[in-house]
Structure 1
Amino acid sequence: MNNTIYLRRASKLMIEPSEGLQQQLPKKVLATALKNIESLGFTFSNELMQAMRKLPKEQFEALYQQLVKDLKVMVGAHVEYKPMYAGFPQQVMGEDEAELYLNAVFHYLTHLTLDDFDPSAATTGVRSPLLEQRKLKVIDLGSKQAFLKLIRQLVEAKGSISDTDKKDIKCVLKHVDPSDVEIILPPEIPFKENVGFVVAVLLKYELASMERIGSYFKTASDVLRLAVSWSEGDVSLATASPFRKFKRRERRLLLSLLEQCCSITEDMLRYKDRWIRLGEILHPSEYKLRFPRSQEAFDILRNDKPFTTFNGSVELAFQYRNVWSLIDLLSQRPGEFARKLDHLLRITEDEAYVLLAFGEVAAQVSTPVLLQVRQHFAQRNDSQELRVFFPKGNVAKAFGIPNKLPEINEAVCQEVVQLCEQALITRFADLPVLGKTYIDERLQHYLVPFSQRSASKALRTIVRGSRIPMGEGDTIRFFSWWKEGEVDGVPTGRVDIDLSAVMYDENWNYVEHISYTNLRSVKYKAVHSGDIVTAPYGASEFIDLHMPSIVNYGGRYVVTTLHSFTSHPYCNLPECFAGWMMRKKPGSGEIYEPSTVENKVDLTADTQIAIPVILDLVERTMIWTDLALTRYPDYNNVEGNQKGIVLMGKAMTTLRKPDLYDLFMLHAKARGQLVDTKEQADTIYAVDEGMTPYDIEQIMAEYLA
Structure 2
Amino acid sequence: MLQRLEAMVVRHTRRLPAPAARAVHAGAALPAGQGATAARQFDAALMSVGFKLSAGLLEQLAELDEGTVVDTARRTLATVRGITGDHVAHNAYFVDFPANVPDTFAFWTSCVTEALADDASRASTAGQLRTGVLDLLTLPAYGNYRHTYAELLAAHEELIAAAGDRLTVLHPGGTLDAEVTALYLALAGSATPLGEEDLADLRVLAGYCAAGPQPEAIPVRENRALVNLARLDTGADLLLDTVTDVLRLACALSDGDVTLVRPTRFRSLSRPVRRALIAGLDTVVAAAPAKLADVTAHREAFKRLGERLHPHEYPRRPHAAEVFAVARGESAAPTFESRADQLLAAGEVTAAAGLLAEAPGKLFRALDRLLRACPGQDERDAVLAVAERAAPRVAGRVLLSVREHLHNRTDEPGGTRVFVNRLGRAWVTPDTRPAVPPDARERLITALDAETRRRLPAPDHLLIGPDVLDVALPLSGKATAAGLGVLPRGSVSPVEGDLLRFFVHWRQTARTTDFDLSALLLDASYGTLGQLSYTSLTQVEGEHSGDITDAPEGASEFINLRLGAVRGDFIVPQVNIFSGEGFEEVAESFFGFMLRDGDQRGRPFEARTVRLKSELRGPGRVALPLAFLRGPDGGWQAKWLHLHLKGSPSANRVEGNRVSVATLLRGVVGREYLTVRYLTDLMAGSGTVVTRWDGGALPDGPVTYVGLERPAGLHPDSVVVTPENLRDLIPG
Q: Would you say same fold, with TM above 0.5?
A: yes
- Contact in 2 for aligned 1:434/1:668 (Cα 8 Å): no
Matches within 5 A, 1:29-108: 29-92=38-101, 95=102, 99-105=106-112, 106=114, 108=137
Q: Is the 8 A contact 2:296 2:326 kept in 1?
A: no
CA offset at residue 528 of structure 1? 0.7
**Residue 504 (structure 1) aligned with residue 522 (structure 2):** yes
Which residue of structure 2 aligns with residue 520 of structure 1? Answer: 538
1-side partners of 2:491 and 2:198: how far apart?
A: 20
- Cα-to-partner distance string for 1:146-166 (whole Å, 9 max, x where unaligned): 442122111111221111112
Matched, 1:312 2:330: no
Q: Does residue 243 in structure 1 map to residue 266 in structure 2?
A: yes
Superposition pairs of residues 422-437 of structure 1, within 5 angstroms = 422-428=450-456, 431=457, 433-437=458-462
How many Å separate the matches in 2 of 1:306 and 1:33?
65
Does the C-alpha gap of structure 1 residues 622 and 171 become closer, same or farther in structure 2, counting only changes over 3 Å? same
From 372, 376, 381, the equivalent of 2:405 is 376
What residue number does 2:292 align with? 265
Cα distance between partner residues in 2 of 1:400 and 1:702: 30
The alignment partner of 2:639 has SS state of: strand
- The answer on whether the counterparts of 1:400 and 1:651 sit within 8 Å (CA) in structure 2 is yes
Q: Which residue of 2 aligns with 1:329?
A: 355
Q: How many Å separate the matches in 2 of 1:241 and 1:125?
A: 50
In 1, distance between residues paired with 2:383 and 2:368? 10
Deviation for aligned residue 1:272: 2.6
Q: How does 1:216-235 map to 2 (within 5 A)?
A: 216-235=239-258
Aligned partner of 1:139 in structure 2 is: 170
Task: State the Cα deviation string for residues 627-670 of structure 1 (Å, max 9, x = none).
Answer: 22112368421101112211232232223332222123334444
> What SS does structure 1 have at the residue aligned with 2:100?
helix
User: Which one of the candidate residues 564, 567, 586 is aligned to 1:573?
Assistant: 586
Cα shift readout 1:331-352 (whole Å, capped 9, x = no counterpart): 3222222111111111211222
1:59/1:458 Cα in 2 relative to 1: closer, same or farther (>3 Å)? same
State the secondary structure of the residue aligned to 2:591.
strand
Unpaired segments of 5 or more residues in structure 1? none
Q: Does 1:627 align with 2:643?
A: yes
Cα 1:396/1:358, change in 2 over 3 Å: closer
CA RMSD of aligned residues (A): 2.8
Distance (Å, rounded) in 2 between the aligned partners of 1:666 and 1:450 = 17
Structure 2 CA distance for partners of 1:198 and 1:607, relative to 1, 3 Å: farther
Query: Are 2:424 and 1:396 aligned?
Result: yes
Give SS of 2:484's match.
coil
Larger mean Cα displacement after TM superposition, 675-684 or 500-509: 675-684
User: How many Å separate the matches in 2 of 1:652 and 1:128?
Assistant: 39
Q: Percent identity?
A: 25
Partner of 2:392: 363
What does residue 461 of structure 1 align with?
486
Distance in structure 1 (CA, Å) of the matches to 2:310 and 2:527: 60
TM-score normalised by structure 2 residue count: 0.85
Match for 1:655 among 647, 666, 671? 671
| Distance of 2:103 and 2:462 partners within structure 1 | 60
Q: How far off its partner does 1:36 sit?
A: 1.9
Q: Pick one of 254, 265, 279 that aligns with 1:256.
A: 279
C-alpha contact 1:91 1:124 (8 A) present in aligned 2: no
TM-aligned CA deviation for residue 308 of structure 1:
4.5
Partner Cα separation in structure 2 for residue 282 and residue 126 of structure 1:
62
Structure 1 residue 701 displacement after superposition: 4.5
Q: 1:595/1:297 Cα in 2 relative to 1: closer, same or farther (>3 Å)? A: closer
Change over 3 Å in CA distance of 1:17–1:98 after alignment to 2: closer
Q: Report the AA paired with residue 159 of structure 1.
A: T
> Normalized against structure 1, the TM-score is what?
0.89
Q: 1:165 aligns with which of 178, 181, 198?
A: 198
Assess, with a 3 A threshold, how the Cα gap between structure 1 residues 382 and 527 changes in structure 2: closer, same or farther.
Answer: farther
Query: Could you say what secondary structure the match of 1:197 adopts?
Result: helix
**Preserved CA contact (<8 Å) 2:706 2:722:** no
Aligned to 1:12: 15
Distance in 2 (alpha carbons) for counterparts of 1:336 and 1:268 = 16
Shift of residue 296, structure 1, vs aligned partner: 3.5
1:276-675 matches, cutoff 5 A: 276-289=303-316, 291-302=317-328, 304-348=330-374, 349=376, 350=378, 351-381=380-410, 383=412, 385-392=415-422, 395-428=423-456, 431=457, 433-439=458-464, 442-470=467-495, 472-484=496-508, 487=509, 491-492=510-511, 494-521=512-539, 524-550=540-566, 553=567, 555-585=568-598, 588-618=601-631, 619-632=635-648, 635-670=651-686, 672-675=688-691
Matched residues in 1 for 2:246 and 2:292: separation? 13
Question: What 5-or-longer segments of structure 2 have no aligned partner?
Answer: 25-30, 115-135, 712-718
Q: Deviations over 1:188-238 (max 9, x none)?
A: 2111121123322444xx23422xx2xx21111111111122222222222
CA–CA separation in structure 2 for the residues paired with 1:628 and 1:301: 33
The change in CA–CA distance for 1:35 and 1:124 in structure 2 (over 3 A counts) is: closer
Distance 1:570 1:246, change over 3 A: same
Q: Which amino acid aligns with 1:683?
A: T
